[in-house]
């Protein structure tokens, strides 16, 4: 943060809500440095009608999308993830948003649970996976890399389940021609 301040910057963009919330409440706050999650930037583009880009695949693939709201983002960074997810998905052509029951309930990845209490972590994840599967979505957006890992691992263990978890920034990136051509199905 001292280097950021020394360079004259006053903003940090984080891809991890755990890191972002720590920065937001810690030294960055004292130094007057604003901290945002990457999804907040994508949401702003979507809200302002600036998310569709000429380099995107045309037409975009038809996808049904749901989301998980990371604890550190919803509560730690005080961000309304569900509203952001819905706005981002609805701003893109050929995308269908479907809200997941208990979208804001923990997936079992964070808070040291996955590392220290695997059985509890997997039980929490099983409940999350059950609710996600009810949506019949193709993709689950998870704005935390740890949640993405936890959920995607759980989905891959399910029989007859092609749903995958990705971050909102990966979701948006895969809509671009250069990236889309390299994606081997979702």
Euclidean distance between CA atoms 95 and 137, whole angstroms: 11
Question: In terms of Cα–Cα distance, which of 31, 38, 23, 37 is closest to 5?
Answer: 31
Q: Are strands 34-37 and 11-14 parallel, antiparallel or unpaired?
A: parallel
Phi and psi for 24 in degrees, rounded to 5?
A: -60, -40
- The domains found in the chain, sorted by start residue, are 2-41 (no CATH), 53-180 (3.40.50)
Cis ω for the linkage preceding 49 (within 30 of 0): no
pLDDT tens-place string over residues 50-92: 999 999 988 889 999 999 999 888 887 888 999 999 999 999 9
Residue 85 vs residue 29, higher pLDDT: 85
Euclidean distance between CA atoms 122 and 101, whole angstroms: 19
Q: What is the pTM of this model?
A: 0.89
Euclidean distance between CA atoms 20 and 28, whole angstroms: 10
Q: How confident is the model at residue 183 (pLDDT cuts 50, 70, 90)?
A: low
The answer on pLDDT for 182 being more than 70 is: no
Q: Are strands 139-142 and 63-68 parallel, antiparallel or unpaired?
A: parallel
Give the tokens for residue 177: 């021609």
pLDDT tens-place string over residues 118-165: 999 999 999 999 999 999 999 999 999 999 999 999 999 999 999 999
């Amino acid at each position: 943060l001292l280097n950021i301040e020394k360079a004259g910057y006053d903003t940090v963009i984080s891809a991890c809500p755990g890191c972002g919330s720590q920065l937001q409440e810690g030294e960055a706050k004292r130094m007057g440095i604003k901290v945002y999650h990457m999804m907040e930037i994508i949401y702003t583009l979507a809200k302002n009608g600036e998310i569709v880009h000429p380099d995107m695949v045309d037409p975009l693939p038809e996808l049904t999308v749901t989301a998980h709201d990371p604890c550190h983002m919803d509560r730690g960074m005080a961000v309304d993830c569900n509203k952001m997810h819905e706005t981002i998905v609805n701003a893109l052509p050929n995308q269908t948003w479907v809200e997941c029951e208990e979208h804001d309930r923990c997936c079992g990845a964070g808070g040291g649970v996955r590392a220290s209490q695997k059985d509890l972590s997997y039980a929490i994840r099983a409940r999350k996976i059950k609710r996600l599967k009810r949506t019949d979505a193709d993709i689950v957006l998870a704005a935390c890399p740890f949640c993405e890992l936890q959920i995607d691992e759980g989905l891959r263990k399910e029989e007859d389940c092609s749903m995958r978890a990705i971050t909102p920034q990966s979701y948006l990136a895969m809509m671009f021609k250069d990236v889309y051509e390299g994606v081997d199905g979702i």
